[in-house]
A and B are shown apart, each in its own frame.
Chain A
Amino acid sequence: MKKRFLTLIPATMLTAGLLLSGACASVIASDDSGGLATLRGASVSAAEKTVTGDGLKKALETPPVDRNFTDQPPLVSHAVDEYPVTRAFNKCLDCHSRENAKKEKATTVSNTHFEAADGKVLKNVSARRYFCVQCHIPQVDAKPLVENTFQQAE
């Protein structure tokens, strides 16, 4: 009798263990995230609610859109996909440089762009202003992603 009882101990422990782990698993599974959580504890399933964007927009080949605030870099009124700005060549300056702008009826590069970091005025566009699309982006018909109440200063 005693011997049979002893053999029952590991069996019950095993069943208990199995039940416990099963219960744990079901608790985690009810979270619907497979037991995963972000570092800050937010549910990872939130990612599924991400709103998809509108896809690629074409540049508006219209007269330049007004600036939203003073000193905003003016927008580019054409597509720039095929215009390389590399170490070897800057396609933008092909039309917008001081020499070519008048002939090509393009906007001239601003005078501020000829200033080097030390304030010295250079003969041509300063290297720190060389990569045009860092600030000037093609204008597109895009609505603000979040509501904002920004007002330009008068």
Chain B
Amino acid sequence: MNPVPPAKFSASDRPVRPHRKRKTKLLSVSALLFFVCGILFAAVFNVAMHWSNTEEFCLNCHEMKDNLYREYQSTVHYTNRSGVRAVCGDCHVPKEFLPKMFRKMQAAGEVWHSLMGTISTPEKFAERRPMLAQREWQRMKANDSKACRNCHDAQSFDLSRQGYRSVQQHQEGLIGKGQTCIDCHKGIAHQLPNIAQGINESDPQGISLDIFKPAIQEKPAENAKE
């Protein structure tokens, strides 16, 4: 049995070769196709990502257009003397790739709620606003207000050109005690939900002041001194 295979391979007609040639051709063509498809996919993906971050895209659903967009139009992030704007995505979508992908996937849930009409009327929206606002505050707090800092860099603050109250707060809280932008700057681009300021005792509903305005946490070293 053994002597037969070597004889087969040493044959002059070499039956394997054309098959191998075809195989390499197929491989190179498919590699090229793969490459081109890859580039195309990357391009389309990039365009889609970019498009889904535009204001135009966000305003596609009437929930955004009728509720949030109107409030936002009177704020400094929409209109100001220099015309620099922060659109929805600048604050609500991270710039880094992985966090962005994560957020985009989370946003699939928002498509579902849009179809369900969860906040399809101003009344429904008002009802859910406390929950939605708090979720967004937590998100900003968790990443140290990264979206704010993409434009507002504390390192570049010219404190001499800020109001005296701002200077005090920024030096003490933001720079000194590690507070983050959203700790104080809530409701700057949207209206605030009901905050429990204790004005009307018959209406106790509202977000507690501990959440709305978290107290500055003293540094442990300073506590030790006292």
Query: Could you mark each residue 87-122 of chain A with 1 if its beta carbon is under 8 Å from any beta carbon of chain B, else 0?
Result: 111100110010000000000000000000000000
Query: If the complex has contacts A78-B165, A84-B187, are A130 and B199 also in contact, measured as CB distance less than 8 A?
Result: yes
Count CB-based A-B contacts (< 8 Å).
39
Pick from B76, B165, B195: contact of A88, CB below 8 A.
Answer: B195
**Roughly how many angstroms separate A97 CA and B193 CA in the complex, as a whole number?**
19
**Roughly how many angstroms separate A135 CA and B199 CA in the complex, as a whole number?**
18
**What's the dominant secondary structure at chain A's contact region?**
loop
CB nearest neighbor in A for B130: A88
Interface residues on chain A, number (Cβ under 8 Å): 17
Contact (Cβ within 8 A) B163 A89: no
Question: Residues of A contacting B99 with CB < 8 Å?
Answer: none
Interface: B213 (CB within 8 A): yes
Contact (Cβ within 8 A) B165 A125: no
CB distance from B16 to the nearest CB of A (A): 80
CB nearest neighbor in B for A129: B199
Interface: B197 (CB within 8 A): yes
Interface: B27 (CB within 8 A): no
Interface: A68 (CB within 8 A): no
Contact (Cβ within 8 A) B199 A90: yes
Contact (Cβ within 8 A) B198 A123: yes
Pick from A84, A88, A124, A125: contact of B193, CB below 8 A.
Answer: A88
Query: Could you mark each residue 152-179 of chain B with 1 if its beta carbon is under 8 Å from any beta carbon of chain A, else 0?
Result: 0000000000011100000000000000
CB nearest neighbor in A for B203: A87
Question: Residues of B contacting A93 with CB < 8 Å?
Answer: 197, 199
**Roughly how many angstroms separate A82 CA and B194 CA in the complex, as a whole number?**
18
Contact (Cβ within 8 A) B200 A84: no
CB distance from B176 to the nearest CB of A (A): 15
Q: Which 9 pairs from chain A and chain B are nearest by CB?
A: A89-B192, A88-B194, A89-B195, A124-B198, A88-B192, A124-B199, A93-B197, A125-B199, A88-B193
List residues of A whose CB falls within 8 A of some B CB: 61, 78, 82, 84, 86-90, 93-94, 97, 123-125, 127, 130
Known: A88-B195, A89-B187, A127-B200. 16 other contacts (CB 8 A): A61-B164, A82-B188, A86-B191, A88-B192, A88-B194, A88-B206, A89-B192, A89-B195, A90-B197, A90-B199, A93-B197, A97-B197, A124-B201, A125-B199, A127-B199, A130-B199
